[in-house]
Amino acid sequence: METEYTKQIRDKARELLENGTVECVIGYETGTDGINARPAFIYDPADVERLVFDNTCSHNLVKYLLNMKGKPTAVVVKGCDSRALNLLLAEKQLQRDNIYVIGVVCPGVVEWGWNKQSDKLQKRCVLCRQHTPLIHDILLGEPVTEEPPPDFTDVAEMEAMSSEERAAFWQEQVERCIRCYACRQACPGCYCIDCFVEQLDPEWVGIRIAPGENLMWNTIRAFHLAGRCVACNECERVCPVNIPLSLLNRKLEQEVLDLFDYRPGMSEDAIAPLITFKKDEKLGIGE
Amino acid sequence: MSRIGVFICHCGTNIGGVVNVPEVVEAARHMPLVVFADENKYTCSEVGQASIRNAIAEHKLDRVVIASCSPRMHENTFRRTVAAAGINPYLLEMANIREHCSWVHSDSRDATSKAIDLVRMAVSKVARHEALFPRQIGLTKRALIIGGGVTGIQAALDIAAAGHEVVLVEKEPSIGGRMAQLDKTFPTLDCSACILTPKMVDVAQHPNITLLSYSEVVDVRGFVGNFEVDILRKAKMVDYDKCTGCGLCWQACPEKIPSEFNLGLGYRTAIYIPFAQAVPNKPVIDIANCRYENYRRWKETEQGPEPPQCRICEGVCPTEAIDRTQRDEIITEKFGAIIVTTGFKTFDHSVYGEYGSGKYPDVISSLQLERLMSAAGPTEGEVLRPSDGAHPRSVVFIQCVGSRDDKVNRPYCSKVCCMYTAKHAIMLKEHDPDVQCYVFYIDIRAGGKDFEEFARRAQDETGALYLRGRVSQIYQKDGKLVVLGEDSLMGRPVEITADLVVLATGMEASENAAEVAQKLNISYNAYNFLIEAHPKLRPVETQTDGIFIAGAAVGPRDIPDCVAHGSAAAVKAVALLSQDSLTTDPLTSVVDPMKCVGCFACREVCPFNAVEEQTTRDGRIIASINESVCKGCGLCVVACRPGAINLRGFTNQQLLSEVLTLVGR
Amino acid sequence: MTKVLGRSELESWLGEIMRERTLVAPRRIDDLVLFTPVQSVDEIAFDFDNTNLSPKEFFFPRTETLFTTVYKDGEVELTPAVIDRETVIFGIRPCDARGIAICDGPYLGDPPDSLWAQHREKTTLIGLACTRPAPQCFCSSMGSAPNDSSNVDILLTEVEDGYAVEVITEKGENLLQGVELKDSDVKPVAPSCDASVPADGIVEAVKKSFDDIYWSRLADRCIHCNICAYVCPTCYCFDIRDYKRGDVIERIRTWESCQSKGFTRIAGGYDPRADKGSRLRQRFCHKLLYFPEQFGPLGCVGCGRCVVACPVNIDIREIISDIQETGAKVGQGSN
Amino acid sequence: MSADNGPRIIGFLCNWCSYAGADMAGTSRISYPSNIRIIRVPCSGRVDPMIIVKCFQEGADAVLVAGCHPGDCHYNEGNYYSRRHFALLRELLDFMGIDKERFRVEWVSASEGKRFSQIVSRFTEDMKKMGSREAV
């Protein structure tokens, strides 16, 4: 099936570049380890043979659309990626009409690591509830109709711990953080011109790479994605010191689902839960 | 480097009795940027204020912290004080060491160290204050009134009398509203039409008033002093410049339609005025029911049988005023103030099965009875029951129909029903001495000038029988109505055979009240009654500056209350329109265009529609705050992830600095 | 003759060191290997390719206080930071040791960076030669070797009955004082790191490629995180900030990277290196052009950490060979 | 937080209801523990979750946010938003080891001086039991 995808993507890319529909096709090519895919930017029809699609195509390419400055661009989009696309359209960061979406029904991608050959699906793919892209101009593969129910056992395990244990756990995790901001740079939901963590005035977080500042950074990063995170889990994949960021994101994903019955990125005109309200809702606050 | 002065108030012993003020002063002297600190017995006294002014001059202070009572008490006082000494009034910060400290803490040590913290917070905050300047904006000296009932009429006349232009928009062909439908008014029993119509005529004739009848507000933009309103003018098919209101057309029109004004009792024609004293006293053509308009509609498709063409009105009109070319049009007008007086409608009693669900013709609403009593009504003032036109002898009144009843989601009291029922009992007796009235009530609410006396008169003089209790069922039995109820005082069931049953139907907000409120972005309650800015202290204002509310649109009210509220709203509007420019509070949000990403989350959360779009030189569409509309709540600041928005007076920097004086390594 | 230290002797020696010095050694945390201070020998990982983060942070900590000032009744009192504790780093790979030496260039120039100098003086390096280079390694192409002893105080090479010991410096000598070393005739096998990268003449090639569209095309893929800089043993850029709490001000410096947005932003908001291409180019021009022009050696030691850690596979080895080509055909591409 | 012993509590009070409620506690001389330090904000909806996290990062033992009762917001809707923000934030903080109990949101009207002092007294007591936390 994947080789089939690869062929279809190449053909579509060639067509789009040749008839001038787009200036650039953002897809995947095989990286220098000869195993794992990496993002590829194709400008010339002659280069389309570089394009591939296989179960190492982890990257959320939607993030790159933010750099295309309105240039007509085609992009290869998986189910989770398509939710990011919806998010950015809803937040007026992209214009649908200059994006050509090559949607692929995603078989799930395997654990990623340079020169590592793996057949183990990533956690987010095991838990995935959106294999079929929600938004596409051409769809490759057969839409998945049956999606599993939400599963938050990982979150539940954390919650089973005592407050002190949790504090200790996160303390240890964020001590490793080197504030490289790869999580932010990879996240399609992070596009602030001036991220709060780097603002000098007000100085929300000091530049100290130290537990306190790191905890603040990781907490707010997660909170700024509350009701917006589309669970592509790129942040966790790119973290060089393996901080389990998905736990924070998924905790909030669960709360947003429970409290507001909301799933981010499911449509391009959805209103995020923190910029709307219901008068009579009970949220266990001040009651 | 700013030079901060700190002034600690003893407030007699109120603060000084608990807080060690000298210690606080000493601590303040060593705080960053503080160049002067002193204490006063009473800072708010003239002496105290003078000492501040002197210190400002003497020590060249450019920012001031006053530690005394709550800023809710004296912030404005002290802003004036520092302003008088040449410091921008917004470079002042207060530390609340009375209400939040000395009055609630008895331990002097704790209270003192808390006072020191509060002063330190204020110092760190004031250091980050910026000079702010109120802005002046122009305004349109013109008022819009939505709804031409007695409330709107009163408001219009008052504003016009004050010399300002008024546009009065009424959706019906005539102004007058519910009051025009009434026969007499309680407790004075003067004729409703006789006292209302002169006012209606005044409206028509006043040079400052433009009356837009048969019109509706479709959209409202802008803000206080500068509203822009789209008004739909429905096609009347009659050229009012030519029409003299002679009446030949509506006398000649062959079409008969049940009269809305008479609540289905009696008929009107297709070209019509709703009632004899209508203002304007010129007809409109009811397009839905006009025979020729039907023909024109048929002509477009030519499906079905060809209807008659009629056009009799055009034939009889001596001035050729009928103008079939008229179409609905939308006009846009500018206003400085808007008054909403959309009034009420009566409760539809057909939901009450036990009262016959509106099936029995002789079970009528109180407003229908008004029409039957009115000399200008369908029966020319003779009370004849609808079924057979007979004179009713036995009449049963039922109170609280659609009032004080959770079953029909109308828990509130409609306030006027007790009184108008008393009026009905009295009037029926006058119409026909042989009438016997029975009134089923829960309890009689006669709070108001001469009300109690009036209610008594109904019972004592007219012999109306008041029965405390509910009616369980009404059914028809050989041409009469049998009313089954209970007399809870006697504790026994009663059965009354009646010729006529009158239901005291309660008041409801008019059907388009919510819609209008939404267009104006003002709030309304669960029953679509409009909500006041403050129920006690701002009864005719709304949360939106420049928009006022009055009359029964706000809640059940009788005529004198409505008139009073109409005048009250008018005064508020006049007070606004009498200014040459409006001053805006500078404590508003402001956007940093370098940081805005144009996601417009701010626009989603702003309760006041203060967020507008602006295009930068490099073509990005970003947010900007209309400072005339912004109320400074700061919701947008929190919604703004990129940190592009900040709230003057409560900036992120200021709140952070306050926190960091309290905690932090 | 080879001096050999038995495994158990090694462990007791390290135990000794821990007593009066801070011992930093590779340690397994989840599926990472990181240099951390260790309290006992069994925390130490002996069998590893290389650590995920370079040991540079024991000379150039991710966050370090430069000095503190206290404001007391009109007087300002300044206290510079002092490094007093002796540190021993065990298990540093030759490439990383070279990385430290390379940073001496900028840090020990004139004037020297006091803190770097202090760290250098107080720290002893026990190198551990690579017996099996990892796939990402290319130290040989960068002027080093798996058993390069030139930048450590002691070099250990694993042999069947323990570790072959090579004492290079006096510091190393002192550290080994009183340690029993067996004589043995085992020859430590000198492994080769044959993954070769065409580094010869790279300086010229990069210079030629400066205006080539190659860089902005490459930058299409880059997400401009700081991973490469922070895992790199030779990236030495930092940011400085004053922390004010009440009357105490602390001046600190932390890691910073040329890939981050604010790095070259100047007062007034202008950023001369705003576009992705020039920002990414800076990293490689610094390593392969500016640094050698300024200090001699290439600013890369071939540890391959950035190759492994980059989330989008920006691979310096690939770039070097690309540049050798594009450099040759410069002028064809254009910006 | 200076000489005071006991928990360090920071309170963000909306100007129109809760700050006035605290004033009312004062005018009615209803005493409560002195640990709390009050920061005045126009609306509970102005309180950025970031600043709550900042309080805890810098070592506050507890944070109180108080605003108008839902439906009574001076700005009509402000507290509906803060209710959503803080419902989520409490969960997140708790998940990261900052006990739910340390971050409270209460609705206090301008007339509820007594209630304000009760809330602060109870809060302070609970925090004493829980013990103080260190700045991470």
Mean pLDDT within B364-375: 96
Q: What is the 3-state secondary structure (H, E, C) of C4-61?
A: EECHHHHHHHHHHHHHHCEEEEEEEECCEEEEEECCCHHHECCCCCCCCCCHHHHCCC
The model's confidence at residue C186, banded by pLDDT at 50, 70 and 90, is confident
Judge: B107–D78 Cβ closer than 8 Å, yes or no: no
CB B338 within 8 A of CB B497: no
Q: Would you say residue C334 has pLDDT above 90?
A: no
Judge: C245–B660 Cβ closer than 8 Å, yes or no: yes
Of B361, B365, B369, residue with least CA distance to B398: B365
Q: B660: which chain C residues are within 8 Å (Cβ-Cβ)?
A: 245
Which range marks the domain in which residue D51 is found?
A: 9-130
Of A134, A8, A132, A12, residue with least CA distance to A74: A12
The model's confidence at residue C335, banded by pLDDT at 50, 70 and 90, is very low
Q: Would you say residue C70 has pLDDT above 60?
A: yes
Helix axis angle, B366-373 to B417-431, nearest 10°: 30
Judge: A209–C255 Cβ closer than 8 Å, yes or no: yes
CA B625 to CA A15: how far, in whole Å?
46
Is D96's Cβ below 8 Å from some Cβ in A? yes
Query: CB within 8 A of B225, min separation 6: which ones?
Result: B137, B138, B139, B140, B336, B337, B546, B576, B582, B628
Mean pLDDT within D93-106: 96
Instruction: Give alpha helix (H) positions in B93-245.
Output: 108-126, 150-161, 192-205
In D51-110, the residues whose Cβ lies within 8 Å of chain B are 51, 54-55, 58-60, 74-78, 81, 85
Judge: A178–C261 Cβ closer than 8 Å, yes or no: no
Mean pLDDT within D105-115: 94
Q: Would you say residue A218 has pLDDT above 80?
A: yes
Q: What is the pLDDT of residue C331?
A: 40
Instruction: Work out the percent of chain B whose per-residue pLDDT is above 70.
Output: 100
Q: Would you say residue B616 has pLDDT above 80?
A: yes
- Nearest CB neighbour to A166, from listed D95, D107, D136: D95
Mean pLDDT within A60-81: 96
In which element (H, E) is residue B480 found? strand B480-487
Q: C304: which chain A residues are within 8 Å (Cβ-Cβ)?
A: none
D13 - beta bridge partners?
D40, D66
φ, ψ for residue B293, nearest 5 deg = -65, -35
- Nearest CB neighbour to A271, from listed B594, B595, B604: B604
Which of A68-72, B211-215, B339-343 shows the lowest per-residue confidence on average (mean pLDDT)?
Answer: A68-72
Q: What is the pLDDT of residue D4?
A: 47
CB C216 within 8 A of CB C275: yes
Q: D105: which chain A residues are within 8 Å (Cβ-Cβ)?
A: 285-286
| Residue D1, in any domain of the structure | no
How many of the other CB atoms lie within 10 Å of CB of B317? Answer: 21
CA A195 to CA B641: how far, in whole Å?
8
The model's confidence at residue D134, banded by pLDDT at 50, 70 and 90, is low
Q: What is the pLDDT of residue C329?
A: 54
Nearest residue of B to residue A276, measured between CA atoms: B605
Domain boundaries, chain A: 4-140, 153-275
User: Which pLDDT tens digit goes with each residue over C134-157?
Assistant: 999 999 999 999 999 999 999 999
Is B132's Cβ below 8 Å from some Cβ in A? no
In which element (H, E) is residue C203 found? helix C202-209
Q: What is the pLDDT of residue C328?
A: 56
CA B112 to CA B21: how far, in whole Å?
8
Q: Would you say residue B62 has pLDDT above 60?
A: yes
How many of the other CB atoms lie within 10 Å of CB of C28? Answer: 13
Of D16, D95, D83, D100, residue with least CA distance to D49: D83
In A145-184, the residues whose Cβ lies within 8 Å of chain C are 176, 178-182, 184
Half-sphere exposure of C128 (CA within 13 A, CB side): 24
CA B508 to CA B530: how far, in whole Å?
12
The model's confidence at residue B112, banded by pLDDT at 50, 70 and 90, is very high
Q: C224: which chain A residues are within 8 Å (Cβ-Cβ)?
A: 185
Q: How far is CA A249 from CA A61, A161, A222, A264, B632, in A?
A: 20, 18, 6, 12, 32
- Residues of A47-85 as b/e, b for ≥16 C-beta within 10 angstroms? bbeebbbbbbbbbbbbbbbebbeeeebbbbbbbbbbbbb
Is C269's Cβ below 8 Å from some Cβ in B? yes
| Residue D56, in any domain of the structure | yes
- Distance from the Cα of residue D70 to its chain's centroid: 16
CA B239 to CA B325: how far, in whole Å?
10
- Distance from the Cα of residue C48 to its chain's centroid: 17
Kindly provide the ipTM of the predicted complex, given to two decimals: 0.93
Judge: B641–A271 Cβ closer than 8 Å, yes or no: no
Mean pLDDT within A217-231: 97
The model's confidence at residue A67, banded by pLDDT at 50, 70 and 90, is very high
Q: Would you say residue A52 has pLDDT above 60?
A: yes
Judge: A114–C52 Cβ closer than 8 Å, yes or no: no
Higher-confidence residue of D128 and C333: namely D128
Q: What is the pLDDT of residue D72?
A: 84
Q: B32: which chain C residues are within 8 Å (Cβ-Cβ)?
A: 247
- Residues of A17-27 as b/e, b for ≥16 C-beta within 10 angstroms? beeeebebbbb
Q: Would you say residue B53 has pLDDT above 90?
A: yes
Judge: A211–D136 Cβ closer than 8 Å, yes or no: yes
Average pLDDT over all residues of chain A: 95
Q: A67: which chain C residues are within 8 Å (Cβ-Cβ)?
A: 220, 276
Of C219, C211, C253, C224, residue with least CA distance to C236: C253
Mean pLDDT within B167-180: 97
Query: How many separate domains does chain D show?
Result: 1
Higher-confidence residue of B603 and C262: namely B603
The arrangement of strands across the sheet holding C87-92 comes to C32-37, C22-29, C87-92, C123-128, C154-159, C162-167, C2-5, C182-184
User: Which pLDDT tens digit goes with each residue over C219-248?
Assistant: 999 999 999 999 999 999 999 999 887 788
The model's confidence at residue B366, banded by pLDDT at 50, 70 and 90, is very high
Map out the domains of chain B with their CATH numbers: 4-126 (3.40.50), 136-234+328-343+510-581 (3.50.50.60), 235-326 (3.30.70), 348-507 (3.50.50.60), 589-648 (3.30.70.3270)
Q: What is the pLDDT of residue C277?
A: 95
Query: CB within 8 A of A228, min separation 6: which ones?
Result: A87, A189, A264, A265, A272
Judge: A219–D96 Cβ closer than 8 Å, yes or no: yes
User: Which pLDDT tens digit goes with each residue over A137-151?
Assistant: 999 999 999 999 999
- Asked if omega into A149 is within 30° of 0 (cis), the reply is no
DSSP state of B530: B
- Nearest CB neighbour to C30, from listed A234, A237, A242: A242
Identify how many contiguous H helices and E strands chain A contains and give both numbers: 10, 5
Is A204's Cβ below 8 Å from some Cβ in C? no
Average pLDDT over all residues of chain D: 93
Mean pLDDT within A71-83: 97
Mean pLDDT within D103-120: 95
Q: Would you say residue B90 has pLDDT above 50?
A: yes
Mean pLDDT within A200-208: 91
Higher-confidence residue of C30 and B558: namely B558
Q: Would you say residue B394 has pLDDT above 60?
A: yes
Judge: D84–A260 Cβ closer than 8 Å, yes or no: yes
Q: Would you say residue B665 has pLDDT above 70?
A: no
For B126, the 3-state DSSP assignment is helix
Mean pLDDT within D128-134: 86
DSSP A187-253: -TT---SS-GGG-SSS-SS-S--SHHHHHHHHHHHHHHTTTT--S--HHHHH-TT---HHHHHHHHH
Q: Would you say residue C327 has pLDDT above 70?
A: no
- Nearest CB neighbour to A186, from listed C63, C309, C311: C311
CA B175 to CA B343: how far, in whole Å?
12
In which element (H, E) is residue A38 found? strand A37-42
CB D38 within 8 A of CB D32: no
- Nearest CB neighbour to B594, from listed C245, C247, C269: C269
- Residues of C84-105 as b/e, b for ≥16 C-beta within 10 angstroms? eeebbbbbbbbbbbbbbbbbbb
Query: CB within 8 A of A6, min separation 6: which ones?
Result: A51, A52, A53, A54
> What residues in chain A have their Cβ under 8 A from chain D's Cβ atoms?
155, 158-159, 163-171, 196, 204, 211-213, 215-216, 219-220, 222-223, 226-227, 247-248, 251-252, 255-256, 259-260, 273-275, 277-279, 281, 283-286
The model's confidence at residue B18, banded by pLDDT at 50, 70 and 90, is very high
- Selected for mutation to probe chain A from C223, C254, C275, C279 (highest A CB count within 10 Å) is C223
- Selected for mutation to probe chain D from B99, B123, B648, B652 (highest D CB count within 10 Å) is B99
Cβ pairs A/D, distance under 8 A: 105
Mean pLDDT within B492-510: 96
Q: What is the pLDDT of residue C191?
A: 80
Chain D: touching chains (3 or more CB pairs < 8 Å): A, B
User: Which pLDDT tens digit goes with each residue over B242-253?
Assistant: 999 999 999 999
Is D43's Cβ below 8 Å from some Cβ in A? no
Q: D34: which chain B residues are within 8 Å (Cβ-Cβ)?
A: 101, 104-105, 107, 110-111, 114
Q: What is the pLDDT of residue D71?
A: 83
Q: Would you say residue B172 has pLDDT above 70?
A: yes
φ, ψ for residue B541, nearest 5 deg = -105, 165
**Biggest alpha carbon–alpha carbon distance for chain B:** 99
CA A92 to CA C105: how far, in whole Å?
48
> Among positive and negative, which fits the CA dihedral B311, B313, B317, B323?
negative
User: Which pLDDT tens digit goes with each residue over D43-81?
Assistant: 999 999 999 999 999 999 999 999 999 988 888 899 999
Q: Would you say residue C250 has pLDDT above 70?
A: yes
In which element (H, E) is residue B638 found? helix B635-639
| Residue D92, in any domain of the structure | yes
Judge: A36–C308 Cβ closer than 8 Å, yes or no: no
| Residue D94, in any domain of the structure | yes
Instruction: Work out the percent of chain B whose per-residue pLDDT is above 90.
Output: 91
- Nearest CB neighbour to D8, from listed B104, B523, B662: B662
φ, ψ for residue D20, nearest 5 deg = -65, -35
Judge: C135–A33 Cβ closer than 8 Å, yes or no: yes
Start-to-end Cα distance in chain B = 25
Reported pTM: 0.82
CATH number at residue D90: 3.40.50
Is A206's Cβ below 8 Å from some Cβ in C? yes
- Selected for mutation to probe chain B from A193, A196, A221, A279 (highest B CB count within 10 Å) is A193
CA C301 to CA C96: how far, in whole Å?
7
CA A75 to CA B405: how far, in whole Å?
61
User: Which pLDDT tens digit goes with each residue over B186-207?
Assistant: 999 999 999 999 999 999 999 9
- Distance from the Cα of residue B494 to its chain's centroid: 43
CB D66 within 8 A of CB D108: yes
